[in-house]
Homo-oligomer: A and B are copies of this chain.
Amino acid sequence: MTKSTPWTRSSRPRIERLTRRMLDDNISAIVCMSPEGTFYLSGFNPIIYSHPVIVIATPGHEPILLVFALRGKHACESTWTPDVRLYGTWAGIKTLAPTWQQALAMIIEDLGVAGKRIGVEEGWLSVAQYREVAGALPHAHLVDASASVSLCRQIKDPDEIGNARIAARIADVGMAAAVEALGQRGLTERQVVIAAMSAMNQDWACNYPEVEACDFGSLEGGNHNGLAVWVLSGPRKSYACDNPTQRIPQEGETVSVFIWTVANGIHAELERTVCIGSVAPAEKEAINAILNIRAEVADLLHPGIPIRALYEVAKKGFEKRGYGACLPGRIGHAIGLGAHESTSINGSSDMTLAAGMIVTLEPHIHISDVCGTQFSDTILITEAGPEYLTHFDGGYLEV
């Protein structure tokens, strides 16, 4: 099965980066099976993964996308790699082999790497599936390639940055709708969530015809729509995440609003603490402290700064304002194909900020029965410094 669309390697710098890593690590091929990983290396997300989707990446060769016959047409229309191969028995379609294990073995044999070091995602692959891969490739020396793929994902390609901008714009629309709904007073958490979801879906449906809003599902089910809203009011803020309830936010309380969006697989997040009228001095003080700490760290978001140094600045900010005892373990994280990617902005990181990274900035102050702040933006690191992709007002927010 060959695609007619022309494809050039230079349009997907991630392949170059991954190839360099594979050469450094002496890995001859990577057999990628996670939803995020296979999408990263092919652009195909079938949403349902009951039939495994596999990408075989090897230096000097386009990524090979191996899918069940039923998914062939869909895969060919979605993917940017020109090499799509099929397995399985379905509707009389000609395939490489009846099972993915057989097809994988044939591809690895053809590539001449059957006896070499082959990378798999040990951080994702189940023990049972690992056994299947090992059985299909009896001569291979399987090694963990989780880090190769996740490090490669840290620097975003131009298409990913474009999608992050869209996801962030949709998040802005959702936050505006949530804040407006909270301003009406008397609506339940659920009603606020529904208002924001509805606004985002309308925005997506009208303005982004080429963008998919589905997310990556688990092995037991798909995630059809990744335009997500969480609303936790008053004491429920301490749950950090929960389904919304029929609780009505009360005058004088604060409400945590989380907007998480996705555009063609790339996520954005936008989070705000909204004050319902005038709140207690202790809450107000914590909010102002966190806004100032964020500003201090944001100034430093330039390529070349050690991530640990960012955390240190936040730590000092917490301490000098009397919040040293509730310093969080991290003050942000990388974001992209995952809503939370593996890089954390914490005190033990040995990573350095680089242009093309996308991170969230979200130091929080949570003190039981006193306050809980929740501010986060999605920020692209450019050569010139931080570029906020989410634009919603980042100051003190009262309705």
Give A contacts to B, CB under 8 Å.
Answer: 35-36, 46-48, 50, 70-71, 73-74, 89, 91-92, 120, 122-128, 130-131, 144, 146, 188, 190-191, 194, 197-198, 201-202, 204-205, 209, 212-226, 228-230, 238-243, 245-246, 260, 267, 325-326, 329, 337-341, 366-368
* Minimum-distance CB pairs A-B, first 6: A220-B338, A221-B339, A122-B127, A224-B228, A190-B205, A212-B243
Name the contact of A123 in the complex, choosing from B48, B73, B126 (C-beta under 8 A): B126
A242 to B214, CA, bound (A): 8
Given contacts A35-B218, A191-B205, contact A50 B125 (CB under 8 A): no
A326 contact set on B, CB distance < 8 A: 91
Smallest Cβ distance from A255 to chain B, in angstroms?
16
A50 contact set on B, CB distance < 8 A: 340
**Structural contact, B224 and A340, CB atoms closer than 8 A:** no
A215 to B215, CA, bound (A): 13
Given contacts A74-B239, A126-B126, contact A217 B218 (CB under 8 A): yes
Residue of B nearest to A130 (CB): B127
A367 contact set on B, CB distance < 8 A: 91
**Structural contact, A194 and B205, CB atoms closer than 8 A:** yes
**Structural contact, A339 and B220, CB atoms closer than 8 A:** yes
**Structural contact, B220 and A224, CB atoms closer than 8 A:** no
What copy number does this chain have within its complex?
A: 2
| Additional A-B contacts beyond A191-B205, A197-B201 (16; CB < 8 A) | A47-B241, A48-B240, A91-B366, A122-B126, A123-B126, A124-B219, A125-B127, A126-B126, A128-B144, A188-B205, A197-B225, A209-B246, A214-B243, A221-B338, A221-B340, A225-B225
**Structural contact, B224 and A260, CB atoms closer than 8 A:** yes
A48 contact set on B, CB distance < 8 A: 240-241
A222 contact set on B, CB distance < 8 A: 228, 241, 339
A38 to B17, CA, bound (A): 38
A201 contact set on B, CB distance < 8 A: 190, 194, 197
Residue of B nearest to A368 (CB): B91
A92 contact set on B, CB distance < 8 A: 325
A215 contact set on B, CB distance < 8 A: 221, 223
**Structural contact, A202 and B194, CB atoms closer than 8 A:** yes
**Structural contact, B238 and A73, CB atoms closer than 8 A:** yes
Name the contact of A74 in the complex, choosing from B125, B190, B221, B242 (C-beta under 8 A): B242
**Structural contact, A36 and B224, CB atoms closer than 8 A:** no
**Structural contact, A46 and B122, CB atoms closer than 8 A:** no
Residue of B nearest to A131 (CB): B122
Residue of B nearest to A70 (CB): B240
Smallest Cβ distance from A6 to chain B, in angstroms?
23
A70 contact set on B, CB distance < 8 A: 240
Residue of B nearest to A68 (CB): B240
A107 to B30, CA, bound (A): 38
- Most B CB contacts (10 A, CB to CB) among A46, A144, A221, A267 go to A221
User: Could you list 26 A-B pairs, sorted by A, with CB under 8 Å?
Assistant: A35-B218, A46-B242, A48-B241, A50-B340, A71-B239, A73-B238, A89-B329, A91-B366, A122-B126, A122-B128, A123-B128, A127-B130, A190-B204, A190-B205, A194-B198, A205-B246, A214-B243, A215-B223, A216-B220, A216-B221, A220-B338, A220-B339, A221-B338, A222-B241, A222-B339, A223-B223
Residue of B nearest to A258 (CB): B224
Residue of B nearest to A215 (CB): B221
A212 to B243, CA, bound (A): 6
A239 contact set on B, CB distance < 8 A: 71, 73-74
A260 contact set on B, CB distance < 8 A: 221, 224
**Structural contact, B218 and A216, CB atoms closer than 8 A:** yes
Residue of B nearest to A120 (CB): B127
**Structural contact, B240 and A340, CB atoms closer than 8 A:** no
A339 to B238, CA, bound (A): 30
